[in-house]
């Protein structure tokens, strides 16, 4: 949404800015935005801070309405928004705090290959990936599921497809929540959503979704990098996608079903896009059940693409993926709501944590982490743009205190898609990427134009804010050399 934010922003420290709850009637908590001096000026250029204030009005919200440094305008919640509500205090669940692309997320694979080994075959590799991993608007995949299979998949998550040879057993423990949220209710997912998802599990989609071949070009935390199997010059693969048309439909259905729910429960909202229901209500539980089913679909989607990626590498390099060392480092969701335990005013409470364009960032020792990451913390994956870098970080203890175990999810847009397309007129983004050493394939020119590097904030600045805040710690920087997009 256009228009500058003109409300209050009180400086808390070098990387935090407060919107006091006195700003507007109805705010139950302060808003808190993570940004440095440069980023906060960009953040003021749209109405995303206003959305932070709006979210602070939700019933049962705890501590703060938070925004990560990649904040920009979204539906209901800003993208980069985090909010936790207490179900025992009337806390609500809001589809706008999850987003349309439920469990859009990122996973990172390592390999034994070096850039020196991959570079001579890079064009062939990207073309093979483009041919193997379906991408583009509405694009269906090679794997199709009948309705009974989809219902099982949405309740079992990625384990369902791994058991059908789309992956390795080790992939499951390297996935947030082991690739499955409990209490998913596939029977709450509409037939329309199921039909839309029947041939889209194992497909990349369009928009900002991508598959990248990357090179580790900087190590900041050697011990954590070693635990993840990362080293300088090594080739990695990052996959960014979500729940495709199925998740979109689940969100669309919920927004329609919940239209009159706030009035029923006497909830006054500053923005109808924040439509919500008490977590413990029938309506709230129905949305949560369907949302969890869509999240499990998304993990299955990325899991199938993982195996397709392994096949493409094996074909190009003439060796099985096992010998190429193509192990999953981690998979994190960044559009989701989950029940998680946090300390609130000296008591452990189970909260409903909304992450809308934000990533979980648990610290070392957290019981949900796999054994190999217990000593370093959860890997946090932060993609940048096609022409610069992505980052691997690890969660830090302060995340549990200040951000409900959350971190940023990317660089964050600074240009709308239409503005990016206008800015690309008369230019060849494909050629500009080649000049940066990146070979890219997309279904159409528009896919590259709207996702050009200039459309995004500098991920280095975004990551540095949360590193400085003690929310996450930099581990490694990844530079793209090959990209496929829808």
| Cα 485 to Cα 139, 210, 211, distances in angstroms | 12, 5, 7
Residue 2 has pLDDT above 70, yes or no: no
User: Given CA atoms 395, 307, 215, 450 in this order, what sign does their dihedral have?
Assistant: negative
Is residue 409 annotated as a catalytic residue, yes or no? yes
Domain boundaries, the chain: 10-485
> Residues 429-438: what's their mean pLDDT?
90
Q: According to the model, what pLDDT value does residue 357 have?
A: 97
Q: According to the model, what pLDDT value does residue 217 have?
A: 97
Pick the CATH number of 10-485 from 1.20.120.1760, 3.90.1640.30, 3.90.1860.10, 3.40.50.11810: 3.90.1860.10
Residue 192 has pLDDT above 60, yes or no: yes
Cα–Cα distance between 247 and 255 in angstroms, integer?
12
> Residues 304-325: what's their mean pLDDT?
98
pLDDT, one tens digit per residue, over 76-102 is: 999 999 999 999 999 999 999 999 999
Q: According to the model, what pLDDT value does residue 272 have?
A: 96
Q: According to the model, what pLDDT value does residue 416 have?
A: 85
Q: What single-letter DSSP state applies at residue 61?
A: B
Q: What DSSP string describes 196-258?
A: HHTTTTT---STT-EEEEEEEEEES-HHHHHHHT--TTBEEEEEEE--HHHHHHHHHHHHHHT
Q: According to the model, what pLDDT value does residue 142 have?
A: 77
> Residues 103-114: what's their mean pLDDT?
98
If pLDDT is split at 50, 70 and 90, which confidence band does 108 have?
very high
Residue 464 has pLDDT above 60, yes or no: yes
Strand partners, 474: 393
If pLDDT is split at 50, 70 and 90, which confidence band does 403 have?
very high
Strand partners, 33: 17, 67
Residue 1 has pLDDT above 60, yes or no: no
Catalytic residue (choose from 72, 221, 409, 467): 409
pLDDT, one tens digit per residue, over 240-266 is: 999 999 999 999 999 999 999 999 999
Its pTM stands at 0.96
Percent of the chain with pLDDT over 90: 86
């Amino acid at each position: 949404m256009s228009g500058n934010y003109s409300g209050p922003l009180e400086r808390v420290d070098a990387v935090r800015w407060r919107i006091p709850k006195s700003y507007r009637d109805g705010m139950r908590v302060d808003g808190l935005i993570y940004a440095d001096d440069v980023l906060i000026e960009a953040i003021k250029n749209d109405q995303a801070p206003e959305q932070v204030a709006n979210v602070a009005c939700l019933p049962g919200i705890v501590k703060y309405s938070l925004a990560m440094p990649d904040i920009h305008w979204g539906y209901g919640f800003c993208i980069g928004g985090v909010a936790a509500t207490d179900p025992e205090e009337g806390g609500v669940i809001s589809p706008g705090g999850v987003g349309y692309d439920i469990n859009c997320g990122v996973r990172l694979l390592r390999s034994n290959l070096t850039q020196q080994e991959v570079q001579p075959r890079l064009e062939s590799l990207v073309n093979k990936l483009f041919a193997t991993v379906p991408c583009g608007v509405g694009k269906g995949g090679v794997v199709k599921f009948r309705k009974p299979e989809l219902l099982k998949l949405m309740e079992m998550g990625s384990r369902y497809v791994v058991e059908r040879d789309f992956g390795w057993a080790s992939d499951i423990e390297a996935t947030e929540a082991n690739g499955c949220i409990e209490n998913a209710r596939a029977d709450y997912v509409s037939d329309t959503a199921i039909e839309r998802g029947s041939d889209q599990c194992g497909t990349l989609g369009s928009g900002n979704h991508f598959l990248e071949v990357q090179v580790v070009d900087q190590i900041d935390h050697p011990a954590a990098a070693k635990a993840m199997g990362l080293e300088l010059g090594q080739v990695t693969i990052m996959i960014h996608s979500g729940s495709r048309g199925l998740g979109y439909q689940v969100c669309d259905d919920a927004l329609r079903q919940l239209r009159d729910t706030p009035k029923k429960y006497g909830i006054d909202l500053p923005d109808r896009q924040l439509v919500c229901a008490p977590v413990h209500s029938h309506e709230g539980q129905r949305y949560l059940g369907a949302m969890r089913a869509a999240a499990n679909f998304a993990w299955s989607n990325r899991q199938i693409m993982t195996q397709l990626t392994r096949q493409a590498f094996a074909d190009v390099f003439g060796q099985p993926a096992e010998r190429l060392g193509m192990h999953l480092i981690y998979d994190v969701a960044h559009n989701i709501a989950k029940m998680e335990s946090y300390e609130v005013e000296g008591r452990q409470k189970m909260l409903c944590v909304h992450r809308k364009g934000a990533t979980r960032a648990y610290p070392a020792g957290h019981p949900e982490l796999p054994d190999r990451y217990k000593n370093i913390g959860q890997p946090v994956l932060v993609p940048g743009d096609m022409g610069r870098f992505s980052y691997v970080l690890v969660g830090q203890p302060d995340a549990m205190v200040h951000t409900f175990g959350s971190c940023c999810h990317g660089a964050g847009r600074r240009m709308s898609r239409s503005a990016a397309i206008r800015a690309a007129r008369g230019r060849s983004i494909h050629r500009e990427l080649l000049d940066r050493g990146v070979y890219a394939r997309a279904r159409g020119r528009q896919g590259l134009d709207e996702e050009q590097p200039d459309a995004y904030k500098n991920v280095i600045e975004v990551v540095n804010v949360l590193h400085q805040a003690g929310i996450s710690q930099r581990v490694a920087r990844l530079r793209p050399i090959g990209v496929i997009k829808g």
